[in-house]
Amino acid sequence: MSGPLPDIAATAAGADAPAPRALGLEAVAMTKRFGAFTALDGVNLKVRPGSVHALLGENGAGKSTLVKCIMGYYRPEEGAVIVGAREQPITNPRQAHALGIGMVYQHFTLVPGMTVLENLVMAQAELPAVIDWQAERTRLAGFMARMPFQVPLDAPVANLAAGEKQKVEILKQIWLDCRFLILDEPTSVLTPDEADDILGLLARMARAGELTILIITHKFREVLAFADDVSVLRRGRLVGGGAVAELTVDAMAGMMIGGATAMAPAARTDQPPGAVALTVDALEALDDAGEAALRGVTLAVRRGEIVGIAGVSGNGQGALVEVLAGQRPANAGRMMVDGAPYTARRSDMLRHKVCLLPEEPLKNACVGRMSVAENMAFRRFDQPPYARARWFLSKGRMRAAARDLIARYNVRTPSPDTPIAALSGGNVQRAVLAREIGGDVEVLVAANPVFGLDFQAVADIHGQIVEARNRGAAVLLVSEDLDELLELADRILVMSDGRIVHETSGATADRLAIGRHMAGH
């Protein structure tokens, strides 16, 4: 249950400061195996109370597994967690919460149909049979007033922007008396400004002795700006770390990838764009609530060209990708590939070589319990080389083809037979990318393709997208990351409120002008 919190400003000033609330935590010799695979191998991690500690590592290095062991989601084969000065057996997340350890995930866990107040009240471990809403409101208003950031208590969560929701997730943990907060890639859903805002506020709370923060991130910029210490994992082992002030980005990157050489950035060849391959004409579609999501979108993508779509999440980009993927019906308008009607059926995609990298690939492009090999064969399971005849599926060929894609796209998986849901987030992404652009591509539609990927994988996947473009594919790249679009796109379109509201060439793009159009001005 949440208790009264000391005033942060008073604590920071040091006058009559109460004992610091921030918890120190140590994971000692942590080993976790999944079958024959060792995901963590004797890892030690020491996080000082009141510090911001970054946990770095390539996709699949073991970061999530380590924090899940600390939270009691996983039982490690060996190792211990020391909280404060005492070893604590944490066998489930409830015990972790009782000790003051909380976690904020990449995805949201709030109930969208309830208000902020209702979410915070219902999250409490002990609820009375009859809730005194007036008393709860008074307590929460007092709590909110002491916090460095506020969210309106009566706002329905469904109406909040991503940054606000993330703030509520964090406030919820503090309200539940969390004094050691684990953040798993918390900024992947935020704009750079929102991310700086939230991390800056949390770092101030840490420095005031209110909280200790352990943050998993792939963004060196955030580590340099907000973290005091860093630990680096590689292939399940702790391979380095120290005070951020004494380390460079190159040193941290070097620890992450070991002896491997960093990938060179993708280079676009200088070529005039070819004929129009993908046409979208006056497209209209509704969102899940029946409101207009696309209001007459018209665009064309030529061969050998990357067209970027910029926009704040929720302005129709998701719906556009879903219509192109055949996952959402269009109400009006038409789509064409090479001048022929395109209906987004699987047969159409195969005929026109249209490939899709959707957002959240594990949810939207995979069957989690099926193997990596089966998931990689999805697009062409009934065609050579997977099938000798339409009705005869060859498991052996499927596995051999998967082995080839796994090697070419550097997918970290214990074997082609591992269920794809057991792969780390970044490796699911690579597996879907391998499936989609491992063969011939004429039109590639990619939605936030490097979300959650480590720096090597980002360079790698950007390289694959640029290579597809250099080979003559027409690429529609939807991204909330403006830097990604500025780096890769030949042309940039801005979407706002279901419409294309601005167009500019990539070479002469003005970041401020794009930002203004993204904000609806």
Ligand X SMILES: Nc1ncnc2c1ncn2[C@@H]1O[C@H](COP(=O)(O)OP(=O)(O)OP(=O)(O)O)[C@@H](O)[C@H]1O
User: In Å, how far from its chain's centre is CA 255?
Assistant: 22
Per CB under 6 A, 60 contacts ligand X: yes
- Options 1-9, 52-60, 128-136, 436-444: segment touching ligand X (CB under 6 A): 52-60
- Options 283-291, 312-320, 416-424, 496-504: segment touching ligand X (CB under 6 A): 416-424
- The nearest distance, CB 148 to ligand X, in angstroms, is 29
Helix (H, G, I), strand (E, B) or coil at 473: coil
d(CA 129, CA 296): 51
d(CA 416, CA 403): 7
**Nearer of residues 168 and 458 to ligand X, judged by Cβ:** 458
Per CB under 6 A, 63 contacts ligand X: yes
Q: Which tokens is 397 given?
A: 């060929």
- Options 61-69, 165-173, 327-335, 476-484: segment touching ligand X (CB under 6 A): 61-69
**Nearer of residues 65 and 212 to ligand X, judged by Cβ:** 65
Sequence-ordered list of residues with C-beta below 8 angstroms from that of 410, at least 6 positions apart, any chain: 430, 457, 460
**Nearer of residues 39 and 509 to ligand X, judged by Cβ:** 39
User: In Å, how far from its chain's centre is CA 432?
Assistant: 15
- The nearest distance, CB 469 to ligand X, in angstroms, is 26
Which amino acid, 75? R
Per CB under 6 A, 34 contacts ligand X: yes
Binders of ligand X among residues 393 to 412 (CB under 6 A) are 412
Per CB under 6 A, 423 contacts ligand X: yes
**Nearer of residues 54 and 324 to ligand X, judged by Cβ:** 54
Buried b (16+ CB within 10 A) or exposed e, 18-30: eebbbbbbbbeeb
Q: Which tokens is 503 given?
A: 């167009």
Of positions 11, 59, 315, 456, contacts ligand X by CB under 6 A: 59
* Cis peptide bond N-terminal to 416, omega within 30: no
Nearest 5°: phi and psi at 511?
-55, -40
Per CB under 6 A, 188 contacts ligand X: no
Per CB under 6 A, 422 contacts ligand X: yes
- Options 10-18, 109-117, 421-429, 504-512: segment touching ligand X (CB under 6 A): 421-429
Of positions 61, 160, 178, 301, contacts ligand X by CB under 6 A: 61
d(CA 294, CA 317): 8
Binders of ligand X among residues 426 to 445 (CB under 6 A) are 426-427
Element (H, E) at 81: strand 78-83
Q: Which tokens is 6 given?
A: 């000391």
Could you list the residues that contact ligand X (CB under 6 A)? 34, 37, 39, 57, 59-65, 412, 422-427
